[in-house]
């Protein structure tokens, strides 16, 4: 009986450690992956115009929230 409980406990510990290891692996949505994807992307005209519109939106929202830029 004692050997059986030690065996079950050992298997349980191995399963928990294995599960913890696999959950710690870097996922596709990690910041490192996003940096790698963005660094291999060549900006196009559409990207530049979207960025300029984004900056204008941020400035406008900042003025709306604070009353000045």
Q: What are the domain boundaries of the chain?
A: 1-28+44-66
Q: What is the pLDDT along the chain (69 residues), one digit of tens a residue?
A: 788 899 999 999 999 988 877 776 655 566 666 666 566 667 788 888 999 999 999 999 999 999 876
Q: Which residues of 11-44 are buried (b: 16+ CB within 10 A; e: fewer)?
A: eeeeeeeeeeeeeeeeeeeeeeeeeeeeeeeeee
C-alpha angle 29-35-37 in degrees, rounded to nearest 5 = 80
């Amino acid at each position: 009986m004692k050997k059986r409980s030690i065996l079950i406990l050992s298997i349980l510990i191995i399963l928990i450690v294995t599960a913890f290891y696999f959950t710690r692996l870097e996922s596709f949505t990690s910041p490192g992956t996003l940096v790698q994807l963005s660094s291999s992307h060549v900006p196009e005209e559409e990207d530049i115009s979207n960025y300029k519109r984004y900056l204008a939106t941020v400035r406008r929202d900042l003025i709306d929230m604070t009353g000045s830029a």
